Amino acid sequence: MYECGKCVLSPNWLVWSLGDGQPPEEIDKQIETPPLSTLLIEKPQSGSINVGGDINFVAKVEAKDLLRKPTIKWFKGKWMDLASKTGKHLQLKESLCQDDAGELDFSGLLKHREHKQEEVSEVDVWDILKNARPDEYEKIAFTYGITDLRGLLKRLKKTKKEEKKSEAFAKRLEPAYQVDKGGKIRLVVDLADPTVELKWYKNGQEILTELINADCFITTFLNTACQGFDDVLLWSSYVELPVNIVKKLEPVKTTVNERIELECEVSEEGAKVKWMKNGVEVPTGVRSRYRVKSEGTKHWLIIDDATKDDTGTYSLMATGGTTEAHVQILMDLQSVTVLLGQPLKLNCEIYPGNVPGRWYKNGQLIQPSERLSIIHRTKNHSLDIESSTIHDAGDYTFVPEGYTQMLSAKNVIWVNSADPPRVHLEALNVPDDTVTIVAGNKLRLEIPISGEPAPRVVWMKGERVILDSGNRVRAETFADHTCLTIDIAEREDTGNYKIVLQNEAGEDTASVKIKVVDIPDPPEAPMVTDVGGDWCTMTWELPRYDGGSPILGYFIERKKKQSSRWMRLNFDLCKETTFEPKKMIEGVPYEVRIFAVNAIGVSKPSEPSKPFIPLAVTSEPTMLVVDDVTDTTVTMKWRPPDAIGAAGLDGYQVEYCIEGTDEWILANKELIEKTRYTITGLPVEAKILVRIKAINAAGASPPRTTQHSILVKEVIEPPKIRIPRHLKQTYIRKVGEVVNLVVKPQNEGQPIDQTISIRNSDCDSIMFIRKAERKHSGKYELSVQVENHIDTAMLDIQIVDLPGPPQAVKIEEVWGNNVALDWNPPKDNGNAPIIGYTIQKADKKTMEGYTCIEHYHRTCITISNLVVGNEYFFRIYSENMVGLSESATATKDSALIVKEGLQLKIPEYNDLMLSVVYCILILCYCSQPKVIWMKNKITIIDDPRYRMFSNQGVCTLEIRKPSPFDGGVYTCKAVNDLGEAQVDCKLEVKG
């Protein structure tokens, strides 16, 4: 039996070895072997293991019928041969288990195999392959028995190489810092090179500092983690080398319309650099004249058509240094074509001024003569020929002294015998010689030409010559026609293009206007000029550029401020620059935007307008009436508007207009919140109209105006007394209280008592009694008279006091433990009805009063449950709305509750349940023993809440102000020399 086992797999190995294995080459060969079911005695069992643990797979093979040692291979998945993964994470072992028959002995072989396997297990093949040369891979695979070399090499190729960074720190930060919350952190690092630039980062975000160096960048990452109230800071750092200037910029001198290329080379590929002109960064946008190009470590700044404004100092800034160069642009000479016999003039300007120079023709120095003159004035140099001849044609050059730059021009002289050039522009067959093209399309403009000899053709846009080598815009000339090609038309291509044809016979020019149409620019953000409850009025300006095609109209969209969904408001184009959106929700903020539309298409949306809130003005105030009129004032009052809206109501505005004029005068400078206002300073006997406006955030409401004019003159109205509601019924006060009434009294036609004070004013009358007495009760009459008009009012005042005691209190009958009482009402009821009586009883021995009943309405009562053997007196108080009478009337006789016998019978007490009471008495009968009171078997001693006393054998326990906590089992225990006795009582107090 042959056992192959102990395939030890570590979860760490499973992480990095995941991938698609390659099928071994031997798997396709047909080998005559016994079926697998006859060889395997024990198959590998599935298993699970936690991360970090080991797992063993064991398989046993029957080998008694085999002539040689079997070949064992372990696979993961379908094709991955695990022999290529052996190392410190995976080990394959084989062993021989001999049975009793012992027919085969592979011990020698197994020893050799086991020894070799042990050597392989100590070697990490992965590390050997990573450090070996590519030509050694097959040898290593053959030595260590790796069959899946192709998959292993793929994995090795994907392994990222670690980039080693140069050492920049002499002393690094500690791996962790800890400070208290709110404390100060100071982090110090020592640099190997003090000139490097240091950058600090927190969580990947740069922390701006003032350290600016140029040799290298040190980047430090800061991660923070909070635990409790402390901050823990972990640091790591790396170094980026600075970008140095390898090849510096070189000065450039050229002429107008020439191409300028400034070239510089840096130390690293893909480095970020910055181009500057005279200390200002060069704009390199889509519409800029400057273009930036980079290839590898080289960087270029390109100016296609140089102008005088491009003269200046250009510099390139990198992290490791800066280089600069001066660019000078000179004005070149203009080529001239003249007819025979016509004057010839060549001019040029030289900067700086007062620089002498020389003129050359075809490389020969020109000397002045009678027909030819050379003039130099400051910066201007000119060459004049009075009458040109055929010999004056040629290339003219001006060379400044001390400069290598030269200016040149070509002079062409032609005679009438040649065929002059001609541009046949009519072949275009376009109106007004204007060619229209949509932006983004390609334009190829072919124009026939003629002339003998063949003319030289120059295409120009403004002063810029279009070359035949241009990339996007180029000009080409053929034998019978010339062609202008624009690959991708842009807005900037719009303009007049000039065609210049020259030969010896003369020249011809023609102009073609190319119009590139595009979608218009978006309009500026619209302005909301007015808002209403569900609408607004918006206006906007025309787009700065209409795309070369007239604006056909506009689309308008709106959205809620908190929303991101725009809604189209018009499907038919709006022709005007104003629009009125409707059906908005009042009080909700909105935004609107505009799209401009021309024949080409729809522009991008404009910027949204400022948020606005639709708010409606209120409706007009209601119920505007005149409240009072004097010689100089008018008092108006009104009611609030019926509809106020979401904007609310800020106040009212009062205006008046004198009859006969159209001027409305504002009566109140500030808004008023009350619905009543007095207009002052009016002329006497003037007639005015008054109107009221309600004001809120949306503006002023429609005015409410008086229907008729108001005469400013005091009107005598009949007097009227307005009595408060509480004085329309009897006014009741106690004796001794203060009475303060706004009335003018007359007491039933009798003079007013001197103890009553009266004070009158323009609008009221006050009656004041400092200390009311019962004699002040009665009816008072208030009378107001204005000329012949009189108005009166009656006031009823009642001064009440405590009642007197009841009369004739007597005991009508005594039976059992009951007593019947009878009495008469008191003589003095205190000027108020009697509302009840209070009856008290008192034991003759103690004469302490105990209230039996309160608020009793009848004049007779039966008192029950009296104690047998006790003798009682009774007294009664009368009561009215003020309170109980000061004294009570007591019975003259007492009521004795007769004892029926002397035999002592201890009653059986049941559980007692009481509601809220003011005191509780527990009684029991005994002789003269020592009496002990207990609650829940605990003796009550010196507790101020309890009072215990005994009188003639009656033991009493009084509980002051009982509460639900006083409930429980109370025990009365009597002890003497003869023995002891006790009785229990259960008390429950309900609140």
CB 395 within 8 A of CB 409: yes
Paired tokens of 491: 């807005």
Closest CA to 147 of 9, 304, 22: 22
The number of angstroms, rounded, from the C-alpha of 647 to the middle of its chain's C-alpha atoms is 25
Neighbour count for residue 4 (Cβ, 10 Å): 19
* Confidence band of 399 (pLDDT split at 50, 70, 90): confident
Instruction: Average the pLDDT over 346-368 and give the result.
Output: 80
* Peptide bond just before 23 cis, omega within 30 deg: no
Residue with more model confidence, 752 or 760: 760
Distances (CA, A) of 229 to 19, 91, 184, 203, 235: 46, 50, 14, 20, 20
| pLDDT higher than threshold 50 for residue 747 | no
Closest CA to 744 of 755, 752, 754: 752
| pLDDT higher than threshold 50 for residue 107 | no
Residue 93: strand pairing partners: 5
| pLDDT higher than threshold 60 for residue 223 | no
- Judged by average pLDDT, the poorest of 325-339, 378-392, 774-788, 828-842 is 325-339
Strand 536-539 versus strand 578-579 pairing type: antiparallel
What does the pLDDT look like over 163-216, one tens digit per residue? 445 566 676 677 666 776 666 777 777 777 776 777 777 766 677 543 333 333
Instruction: Average the pLDDT over 235-240 and give the result.
Output: 45
What residue type is 37 in one-letter code? S
This prediction's pTM? 0.34
Q: By percentage, how much of the chain surpasses pLDDT 70? A: 77
Distances (CA, A) of 689 to 421, 645, 693, 702, 813: 89, 28, 14, 16, 88
Distances (CA, A) of 699 to 48, 207, 654: 79, 51, 15
Paired tokens of 146: 């790796």
Distance CA 430, CA 437 (A): 12
| pLDDT higher than threshold 70 for residue 59 | yes
- Judged by average pLDDT, the poorest of 104-113, 248-257, 434-443, 592-601 is 104-113
pLDDT in the model for residue 211: 35
Residue with more model confidence, 35 or 301: 301
Instruction: Average the pLDDT over 235-263 and give the result.
Output: 75
* Confidence band of 594 (pLDDT split at 50, 70, 90): very high
| pLDDT higher than threshold 60 for residue 270 | yes
* For the ranges 552-566, 823-837, 941-955, the one whose mean pLDDT is highest: 552-566
pLDDT in the model for residue 118: 38
Instruction: Average the pLDDT over 416-443 and give the result.
Output: 83
* Confidence band of 839 (pLDDT split at 50, 70, 90): very high
Residue that is written with structure tokens 């008390």 in the block: 987
What does the pLDDT look like over 615-625, one tens digit per residue? 888 899 999 99
What is the chain's mean pLDDT, rounded?
78
DSSP string, 40-73: EEEPPPP----TT--B---EEE--TT-SSPPP--
Closest CA to 610 of 524, 521, 525, 536: 525
Strand order in the sheet with 578-579: 527-531, 536-539, 578-579
What residue type is 749 in one-letter code? G
Instruction: Average the pLDDT over 814-839 and give the result.
Output: 89
Distance CA 236, CA 201 (A): 10
Long-range own/partner contacts, residues 34-40 (CB < 8 A, 24 or more apart): 34/65, 38/62, 39/70
Which residues, 6 or more positions from 888, have their beta carbon under 8 angstroms from its beta carbon? 805, 806, 840, 875, 876, 877
Distance CA 482, CA 459 (A): 9
Instruction: Average the pLDDT over 809-813 and give the result.
Output: 89
CB 605 within 8 A of CB 594: yes
What residue type is 821 in one-letter code? L
Strand 506-517 versus strand 434-438 pairing type: parallel
Distance CA 432, CA 807 (A): 132
Torsion angle of C-alpha atoms 700, 704, 708, 711, degrees rounded to 10? -60
3-state secondary structure of 979: strand
What does the pLDDT look like over 626-660, one tens digit per residue? 998 888 899 999 999 998 888 888 999 999 999 98
CB 556 within 8 A of CB 577: no
| pLDDT higher than threshold 60 for residue 8 | no
User: For residues 398-435, b (16+ Cβ closer than 10 Å) or e, as one string?
Assistant: bbbeeeeebbebebbbbeeeeebbebebeebeeeeeee
pLDDT in the model for residue 607: 95
| pLDDT higher than threshold 60 for residue 435 | yes
Please give the domain boundaries of the chain with CATH numbers for all domains.
245-329 (2.60.40.10), 335-415 (2.60.40.10), 419-517 (2.60.40.10), 527-602 (2.60.40.10), 621-712 (2.60.40.10), 731-800 (2.60.40.10), 807-897 (2.60.40.10)
Instruction: Average the pLDDT over 978-991 and give the result.
Output: 85
Distance CA 369, CA 392 (A): 14
- Judged by average pLDDT, the poorest of 139-153, 564-578, 749-763, 972-986 is 749-763
Which residues, 6 or more positions from 413, have their beta carbon under 8 angstroms from its beta carbon? 338, 339, 340, 388, 389, 390, 392, 393, 504
pLDDT in the model for residue 528: 93
Closest CA to 747 of 736, 737, 756: 756
Strand stretches in 43-149, DSSP E: 59-61, 75-76, 80-81, 90-96
pLDDT in the model for residue 234: 42
pLDDT in the model for residue 551: 94
What residue type is 956 in one-letter code? T
Q: DSSP secondary-structure letter at 155?
A: H
Closest CA to 217 of 195, 235, 236, 202: 195
What does the pLDDT look like over 869-896, one tens digit per residue? 888 999 999 999 888 888 888 888 888 8
Residue that is written with structure tokens 């002289």 in the block: 413
